[in-house]
Amino acid sequence: MSGGDKLDFEIRPNLAPVSAADRAALLTNPGFGRVFTDHMVTVRYADGKGWYDARVEARAPIPMDPASAVLHYAQEIFEGLKAYRTADGGVTMFRPDANAARFATSAQRMAMPVLPPEVFVDSLHKLIEIDREWIPTDEDGSLYLRPFMFASEVFLGVRPANEYLYMVIASPAGSYFTGGVKPVTVWVSPDYTRAAPGGTGAAKCGGNYAASLAAQAEAIEAGCDQVVFLDAVERRFVDELGGMNVFFVYDDGTVVTPPLTGTILPGITRDAVMTLAAAAGHQVEERPISFTDWQADAASGRLKEVFACGTAAVVTPIGGVRFPDGEFLIGGGEPGQVTMALRQQLVDIQRGKAADPHGWVQRVL
């Protein structure tokens, strides 16, 4: 079947997979994004034909013509989510339907064809099923899934491509924090912005991340872990970090995050944190936070905690803030109670250790 909302995947097992012994050695310390499983998913698209040729096959390099459209006009989008082992030996994913919906939104913004959500989720299931032995068994391990799509048509010309390739690769991941969760220090960029109104800030496309790298390098040079971007219009209001959304916790228990105005990626972890915080009795607000207010509220003690959130690190406490004219601490630089409680609750839900009243966890195996 091809071109519809459901595709039949042809399974072509890798004839030379990594041996069990070598796989076990790799899984002892996989890091993040450096070790990959034996297989990948590929699905093709052509105008007038739709989606077709869905496969699970041996992971291998992609043959690519030098004139492939993605190399010249950057039509490319991606997602990131994880699969987890459960105590009973099963495997789960966290909110893959939300990733499928965001992938579709990103495609629309980048003038690309929309992959049916059913095909997106099914492609993840198929890859997990064949590469399940690559999921780490340790408590903090997971299998990071990277679906992506790019313009594969061979042409030079500024227009949407007529051919695309959708793929999924997988990478076992260990604990993001070795030795426990540590607060990070962030750099507020004075010169660079991530996205402007009307731009691609709300799409998960590679160009947004490429645009953040110079600012991230500036942050590293300043001795910081991550960069914080201010809005592109007034250079006053906090948007997000280079790869994570940001939250502020005040002395009255209010939890605040910048609103989604088209310049901020609508994070799936962000949405889950807002839901959990509200269920825990916090007043949750989406409203602009200026950098001057951030500074003043930290100095007065009104602002108690700040944290970032995303797929890789889940919830990360922010302990210090640096900028060209100085620096300041948040809550003495230590992880806050609200931050750590939300992190633990989210991690427990993702790994099947806590109740899932919102139906976020999807059983795969």
- pLDDT for position 2: 45
CA–CA dist 78, 203 (Å, integer): 9
Quick check: is 304 catalytic? no
> Alpha-carbon distance 356 to 39, whole Å?
31
Per-residue confidence (pLDDT) for residue 181, from 0 to 100: 87
pLDDT of residue 4: 57
Longest dimension (CA), the chain: 63
What was the pLDDT predicted at 175? 82
User: What residue ranges in the chain does DSSP mark as E strands?
Assistant: 10-11, 39-46, 50-58, 76-78, 81-85, 91-94, 142-151, 163-173, 184-188, 226-230, 238-241, 245-250, 255-257, 284-286, 303-310, 314-323, 326-329, 361-363
What local confidence, expressed as pLDDT, does residue 222 receive? 97
In this prediction, residue 180 carries a pLDDT of 75
The strand pairing partners of 284, in sequence order, are 255
Catalytic residue among 82, 126, 204, 304: 204
Going by C-beta distance under 8 Å and a sequence separation of 6 or more, which residues neighbour residue 199? 262, 263
Question: pLDDT at position 1, please?
Answer: 37
pLDDT along the chain (365 residues), means of 10: 74 98 96 96 98 98 98 98 94 98 98 98 98 94 98 97 98 81 94 95 97 96 96 96 96 98 97 98 98 98 97 95 97 94 96 95 96
- Cβ-based neighbours of 7, under 8 Å, separated by 6 or more: 1, 43, 51, 52, 54, 119, 122
Task: Indicate whether this model's pTM tops 0.75.
Answer: yes
| Predicted pLDDT at 169 | 98
> Whose CA is closest to 117, among 153, 162, 145, 147?
147
Neighbours of 89 (CB within 10 A): 9
CB 79 within 8 A of CB 204: yes
Instruction: Return the pLDDT at 5.
Output: 77
d(CA 154, CA 69): 6
How far apart, in whole angstroms, are the C-alpha atoms of residue 35 and residue 133? Answer: 13
3-state secondary structure of 23: helix
Residue 161 is predicted with a pLDDT of 98
